[in-house]
Structure 1
Amino acid sequence: MLSPLGLGCWQFSKGRGLVGKFWPVLGDDAITAIVRTSLAGGINWFDTAEVYGGGRSEEALADALNAAGDAARGAHIATKWWPIMRTAGSIGRTIGERQRRLKDWPIDLYQVHQPFSFSSATAEMKEMAKLVKDGRIRHVGVSNFSAAKMREADQALRAQGLRLVSNQVKYSLLDRRIERSGILETAKELGVAIIAYSPLEQGLLSGKFHKNPELVRGITGPRKLSASFKPAGLQRTQPLIDRLEELAVKYDASPSQAALNWLIHANGDTVFAIPGASKPHHAEENIRAMRFRMSQDELRELADISEFCGKR
């Protein structure tokens, strides 16, 4: 049902709240253009969340889909419930607000955004199951859950005649910790999709900071503090960027597209990815990653190189 890439919509937060301030404020016309470009290129699902601007991202996405008219027919929306300082009972009490913010676009996937709340994963899944049975959401997912918490969530949903369909986690060529923590293995065992956020490691895999380290000076927000953007970090990841650039030439692509291509093909059909886009040409860049497929040898080679460059 879903394209290998969706569009992450955190950047539609309109600068609201602590989470929303990570991105510059985008105007409605820009958001509409990004969504239209994504739809035209074959991206058919969009990931947002309650905490992204306190619902402003959801509203902006709904407005953009409505503005796209027939081009948005069949589009799917994933959003998330924010669990911090809440109990599972909040899931049912706040779903109406999610539907209002999304202007009654169907919620195809409703996810628990974090594994931390005042309730167990089992209690959360029971509340999610009620929403499915009431027709208010279609599928249930989680985000940032460990392998053990995934199993707990899936078991609780099975008891309700449902299954866990996804776990949204940080995953990229430069951050492969889910391969060592058991999350990826458990997802494959249970038939759970992995939705990879930060798939380009906040732009690092584009190679632009390696080519021109002066660009680091223009970084704002939390990225500026990351060791990955320091001179030593850029030097450590240079071998991976070099190989991505070589493959990009071969496939008439870019290093970013090669990195995304690895992500959606290296583990069969298990991994989907949600790169963001703050300009229409960023969306076009994402789309091109779905237009080719690297060989198995090339996928393995990138994995081997990244082992020496990524987070341990």
Structure 2
Amino acid sequence: MQYRALGKSGILVSELCLGTMTFGHTTDERESVEMINRFLDKGGNFIDTANVYAGGRSEEIVGKAIRERRSDVVLATKVRMKTGPGPNQVGLSRKHIMDAVEDSLRRLGTDYIDLYQVHVWDQVTPIEETLRALDDLVASGKVRYIGCSNFLAYQLMKSLNLSDFNRYARFISIQPQYSLVCRSMDREVLPLCLEENVGVIPWAPLGGGFLTGRYERGNEPTEGRLSNKNGESRWELRNTDKNFRILDEVLGAAAETNKTPAQVALNWLIHKQGITSPIFGARTLEQFEDNMGAVGWKLSDSMWKRLDDVSALESEYPYRFIEKFHRQI
């Protein structure tokens, strides 16, 4: 396992991050704890959860599993989503952040969180209020670093500017959806992260399971994430000619390298410029071991480029126009 600096910070994280959204939900506690132990034993040190995963149960399981190895773990969790019936039990107000961090610390059984992330932009709360509250948490020692998730480029840049102007702690990372079948972040967010040295820790790196090779043209799934009619990985978003062309390339690369499709898709992402640590989730130990096989090797340059080319976004204005007049120095 290799380690990389997380954005503009000195903290080093493993090239894969273990996502725990299924823990306490479709993955029981015993198997969840076993995954965490195996991940740490194999050199992983980066674990991501959220206060709303399985109604808080995920945080409880993660906390219990890492209790004796807390200093070895870079622990990430999130705040923003609704946690109760009250009007202030949602969002990024100072009140909700301060209440939520105490609840997360209690469930995790720790006195600090390494990376505290805002789950998505809050249209009600001024971002200045959010950033000041997060800075206070860093000053208090309850939070070591802060990050964001699911932000637009202007929202991230506005946040960074305000933090720099006010000398607050700044976001060192962003957690967006990104994979071979979802590269919309290439338009604005990824170039901004490269420019501002913000770490990128993508979720759904396998397209909700699409890139594992379990799905076929014309056969709509009746179970799993792709069967969810409202999810970001729903079948209507994945069932396109382009996505199946991408999958064909993944399957071809898997056959050539004697790897699984999931390992190929993750390996492409691990070696993508600007990507720090893809967050992989696993419902079973078998899926976990498959995903962990993505490290310790590298696709050939030609194979990596084939995957990059087939999955690239179509050229459009203004990017096409700007590229035409790009200056070579």
Q: Is the 8 A contact 2:51 2:59 kept in 1?
A: yes
Q: Is the 8 A contact 2:14 2:46 kept in 1?
A: yes
Is 205-214 or 183-192 further displaced after alignment? Answer: 205-214
Q: CA deviation at 1:161?
A: 4.9
Change (3 A) 1:153 1:173: same
1:143 aligned partner: 149
Change (3 A) 1:123 1:138: same
Deviations 1:21-51 (A, max 9, x none): xxx3x22111111112222222211111111
Q: CA deviation at 1:220?
A: 6.5
- Is residue 119 of structure 1 aligned with residue 125 of structure 2? yes
- Is residue 2 of structure 1 aligned with residue 9 of structure 2? no
Change (3 A) 1:27 1:238: same
- Is residue 283 of structure 1 aligned with residue 284 of structure 2? no
Which of residues 170, 174, 180 is equivalent to 2:177? Answer: 170
Separation in 2, partners of 1:254, 1:184: 27
Measured on the aligned residues, the alpha-carbon RMSD in Å equals 2.6
1:296 aligned partner: 301
Which of residues 212, 218, 222 is equivalent to 2:223? Answer: 218
1:204 aligned partner: 210
Change (3 A) 1:286 1:212: farther
Q: 1 or 2, which has the higher helix percentage?
A: 1
1:20 aligned partner: none
What are the ranges of 5 or more consecutive residues in structure 2 without an aligned counterpart? 1-11, 83-89, 315-329
Change (3 A) 1:196 1:232: closer
Partner of 1:57, secondary structure, is: helix
Q: CA deviation at 1:208?
A: 1.1
TM-score (norm 2): 0.81
Deviations 1:45-97 (A, max 9, x none): 1111111123211001111223xx45x65111100011564323321233211
Partner of 1:162, secondary structure, is: coil
Deviations 1:140-180 (A, max 9, x none): 10011111111122123222253320111111100000112
Which of residues 71, 74, 78 is equivalent to 2:72? Answer: 74
Separation in 1, partners of 2:14, 2:218: 33
Change (3 A) 1:308 1:56: same
What are the ranges of 5 or more consecutive residues in structure 1 without an aligned counterpart? 16-23
Is 201-210 or 37-46 further displaced after alignment? Answer: 37-46
- Is residue 110 of structure 1 aligned with residue 111 of structure 2? no
TM-score (norm 1): 0.85
Partner of 2:259, secondary structure, is: coil
Q: CA deviation at 1:298?
A: 2.4
Paired letter, 2:181 = L
- Is residue 251 of structure 1 aligned with residue 257 of structure 2? yes
Q: CA deviation at 1:238?
A: 2.7
Q: CA deviation at 1:279?
A: 1.0
Partner of 1:301, secondary structure, is: helix
- How many residue pairs get aligned? The number is 293
- Is residue 88 of structure 1 aligned with residue 94 of structure 2? yes
- Is residue 185 of structure 1 aligned with residue 191 of structure 2? yes
Q: Is the 8 A contact 1:154 1:163 kept in 2?
A: yes
Deviations 1:242-289 (A, max 9, x none): 221222233331111111111121215x34210101111211112111
Change (3 A) 1:290 1:147: same
Q: CA deviation at 1:228?
A: 6.1
- Is residue 33 of structure 1 aligned with residue 31 of structure 2? no
Change (3 A) 1:50 1:222: farther
Q: Is the 8 A contact 2:209 2:226 kept in 1?
A: no
Change (3 A) 1:146 1:211: closer
